[in-house]
Amino acid sequence: MGAAQTTAGSGPGYARRPDYRVDVETSPRLVRVVFGGEDIARSEAALLMRETAHTPVYYFPPSDVRMDLMAPTERSTHCPFKGDASYWTIAVADRVAENAVWSYRDPYDEVAGIKDHVAFYWDEMDAWFEEDEEIFVHPRDPYKRVDAVRSRRAVEVVVDGVAVARSTDARFLFETGLPTRYYLPREAIAGAELIVSDTSTSCPYKGTAAYYHLKVGDRVFDDLVWHYPEPLAECGKIKGLLCFFNERVDAIHVDGKPVAKVETRWSR
């Protein structure tokens, strides 16, 4: 969505960060937001914002939002790339979500298309839907791919100096912007013990993951291994397979060659 002129002018943040991107486009999907048993937003013209270092966000035309259930508040925030945001509190029956809604009434030129559109804090809402399927965590980026590919290459995982897993029947998971992940069958584990963890996480592309601690000798490595018991259909090939954090093991070898380590938010 191209830039237009606004009274706010150009965002000052871009002069300091010329590589910073905020891209906005109209989504072809029917998007619904549910709170307190009400569809508080339902739109066939929602805007999807993709912003550097942020997860995607839906912005809704105000005509597609139950603004009658919202009251403006005194809260405001400033973004050097988007402008000044105003906030609303939602009240439905006995349910209240304070400052859970925001809008840019006079955004900077670079994001003029979101003017007066309304966005919601994801976790403050009860449910989100694209068409008639519930979506989780955040909207999926249409420019991101997740491919699970079967490979006969030899994969070896080394933890605390011990080869704890070996397999020639892995699924290599290629996800845009992230390190390659290696999903191994359970029988690949050797020389280590899996201990069930209470940790779980959710991914909008793959589903809900369960975790294991890994015991190697007398040492326990917390939440080092995860798997998807019931992955989303798009990632069905990794169902039940085990994956290690590349960032937190000694090494992962593929065909005898070490996989390069990269810093991610999971590094320790």
What structural domains and CATH numbers belong to the chain? 13-135 (2.170.150.40), 146-258 (2.170.150.40)
As a whole number of angstroms, the distance between CA 205 and CA 165 comes to: 26
Residue 187 CB neighbours (<10 A): 10
What is the three-class DSSP state of 239? strand
pLDDT in tens, the chain (268 residues): 444 556 668 999 999 999 999 999 999 999 999 999 999 999 999 999 999 999 999 999 999 999 999 999 999 999 999 999 999 999 999 999 999 999 999 999 999 999 999 999 999 999 999 999 999 999 999 999 999 999 999 999 999 999 999 999 999 999 998 999 999 999 999 989 999 999 999 999 999 999 999 999 999 999 999 999 999 988 899 999 999 999 999 999 999 999 998 888 888 8
Report the b/e string of 143-153 with b at 16+ CB within 10 A.
Answer: eeebebeeeee
What is the model's pTM?
Answer: 0.82
